[in-house]
Amino acid sequence: VVLLTLLHVDLDEFIAAVEMRRRPELRGRPVVVGGNGDPSARGVVATASYAARRFGVGSGMPLRLAARKCPDAIFLPMDRAAYETASARVMEALRTIAAELEVAGWDEAFLATNDDPRAVARRVQDVVRAATGLECSVGIGDNKLQAKTASGFAKPAGVFRLSGSTWPTEMGHRPVDHLWGIGRKRAGRLAELGIATVGDLAAADVALLERAFGASTGRWLQETARGEDRSLLRSHPRAPRSRGREKTFQKDLSDRAVVEAEIVQLARTVAEDLIEGAAKSARVVVKVRWAPFFTQSRGVTLERATADPDDLARAALAAFAVQYESRPIRLVGVRCDVVEWNR
DNA sequence: TCTGGGGTCCTAGGACCC
DNA sequence: TCTGGGGTCCTAGGACCC
């Protein structure tokens, strides 16, 4: 029996690091990347450099708020192409160490090893640094959950190991929202049940959790709190389940025709994405976010799967029409379920 | 809240069927 | 009309992640 150990590789301040790599004069300075780079526009922080984080700036924060917390920060627009290129180089470097690699985002990957995991982790850091000039942190665990959690403790540029035996001491006293998959809402509901820490959740009555969260999620919450995770490394990229585009307007729109023109544009772009992947869709869902911030969605099901831009645009307009009201609109989105995916 | 854009998975409730 | 019970499918929305 070969017992594999899992490693989770997480690039440090990835997007900000890519920007600082091409503009070395920004090193050590507060750098905030997000939106179109205008801190007075609608948008949120994608990544803040460590220097910016010391001012309380973090991912997901509105750019306007980030600018207030750190007026001297350098604000930069998102440059997806640059991050995709850098990410591809990182993954390529990781594949020289482990053929079986699960890419979990631009800046994350899981790999398995039966060698000494700490030695492999150091090698990962050396290889990534040599290939890209970027730093990463590596978490080691008996499963993906433990490895992923451990990489958070490894930052910056470190290595940290969790196991079934150290999990309770390392995690038991922490608030439940430190667990992967528990955000503000679930933490709030758990608090109502008197469950505040990971240890509380690990020891909770599972029937109570199942009643409050549903059978599947309830059980999963408890397993997660106990550091248990049977999910496998997924080294083959999965075909996308859906493709979509959405757009937040810099100013709320009240003119129906203008909104419809935006929807047609989004639907046509989604159609291009589908065609590029040799995919088709038979369901088109239009999301509308009404001012100030109420989100709604309605879909239409097509008789046949298609990637035809005109058909998808027409379907999107129909899905918009059934929910249209004469009120200001902040965002519209078009998403297509993928029913076929060739190649 | 000043709250992006790309996704995934899960749940609740209604429709429908036997 | 005083209106069963269980299964499945579909849709909308919730919650979360990077």
pLDDT in tens, chain A (343 residues): 667 999 999 999 999 999 999 999 999 999 999 999 999 999 999 999 999 999 999 999 999 999 999 999 999 999 999 999 999 999 999 999 998 999 999 999 999 999 999 999 999 999 999 999 999 999 999 999 999 999 999 999 999 999 999 999 999 999 999 999 999 999 999 999 999 999 999 999 999 999 999 999 999 999 999 999 999 999 998 899 999 999 999 999 999 999 999 999 999 999 999 999 999 999 999 999 999 999 999 999 999 999 999 999 999 999 999 999 999 999 999 999 998 766 4
Protein contacts on strand B: list nucleotides below 7 Å from a Cβ. 1-12
Helical (H) or strand (E) element with A312 = helix A309-321
Sorted by sequence, the CB contacts under 8 Å of residue A199 that are 6+ apart come out as A168, A171, A172, A173, A225
- Which of the 80-109 residues on chain A come under 7 Å of nucleic strand B at their beta carbon? none
| Residue pair A283/A332 in contact by the 8 Å Cβ criterion | no
Looking at residue A178, what DSSP letter applies?
G
Question: For residue A3, what pLDDT is reported?
Answer: 79
Residue A106 CA and nucleotide B18 C1' are separated, in Å, by 50
Residue A70 (CA) to nucleotide C16 (C1'), in angstroms, measures: 28
> 3-class DSSP state for residue A221?
helix
Q: What is the pLDDT of residue A25?
A: 96
Cα A192–A197–A203 angle (5° rounding)? 90
CA distance A341 to A343: 7
SS3 at position A229: coil
Nucleotides of C under 7 A from a protein CB: 10-18
Residues of A annotated as catalytic (active site), given as ranges: 108
CA of A177: nucleotide with nearest C1': C16
CA distance A228 to A180: 12
Question: With a 7 Å cutoff on the CB, does A285 touch strand C?
Answer: yes
Please state, in angstroms and as integers, the Cα–Cα distance from residue A46 to each residue in A36, A49, A169, A291, A321, following that order: 11, 10, 32, 23, 33
Write down the pLDDT at residue A99. 87
